Amino acid sequence: MKFTDKACPVLLRRREGRLQVLAFRHPKAGSQLVKGTVEEDEEPNQTVLRELGEESGIEDARVVEALGQLVLRGIKQRWHIFLCVVERALPDKWSHYTTDGGGHDFAFFWHNLDEEPDDEWHPDFRKGLSFIRRRVDEKGDNSLVVSP
């Protein structure tokens, strides 16, 4: 079975004692994490930074570490998930226009990692959130590098 490799940057921040992950609302496809296809001439750790820039406008992130791979057999995708960080505080919410898929405005927000995702989240992204939550729990959230 051939899988398509995807790369997913994870930005975390702490607010009021809670760990939050960066997410966005796609105007046609609900709440999601940033994710994109690994191109033929790229490594996944390069793809995460490119996709983060294209989809969110964040151009100054860096990769901290690989969190692992999530294999989604139903859609034949392998997600390479990386913890990334920026050295500046990001807004609570913002909108970014991306040319992906014919052009869309993505509405960014921070999702509390300890909360279950609502019905706006596609099942594959629910699996992604669950994977991230497990990895954070395994590492211990005090050892994680988070954005300010």
Q: Is 64 helix (H, G, I), strand (E, B) or coil?
A: strand
Rounded Cα distance between 80 and 8, Å, is 6
pLDDT in tens, 67-125: 999 999 999 999 999 999 999 999 999 999 998 878 999 999 999 999 999 999 999 99
In a domain, 134, yes or no: yes
Quote the number of domains for the chain.
1
**Domain of residue 18, residue span:** 4-143
Task: Kindly compute the dihedral angle of the four CA atoms of residues 126, 130, 131, 135, in this order, to the nearest 10 degrees.
Answer: 150
pLDDT of residue 74: 95
The pTM of this model reads: 0.95
In a domain, 148, yes or no: no
Residue type at position 39? E
Rounded Cα distance between 96 and 39, Å, is 23
In a domain, 33, yes or no: yes
Per-residue pLDDT, averaged over 61-67, amounts to: 97
In a domain, 135, yes or no: yes
Chain center to CA of 18: 17
pLDDT confidence tier of residue 1, bands split at 50, 70 and 90: confident
In a domain, 60, yes or no: yes
Residue type at position 146? V
List the CATH number of the domain containing 94. 3.90.79.10
Chain center to CA of 85: 12
User: Quick one: 87 exposed, middle or buried, by C-beta within 10 A (0-12, 13-18, 19+)?
Assistant: exposed
Per-residue pLDDT, averaged over 12-27, amounts to: 96
Query: Residue 139: is its pLDDT beyond 90?
Result: no
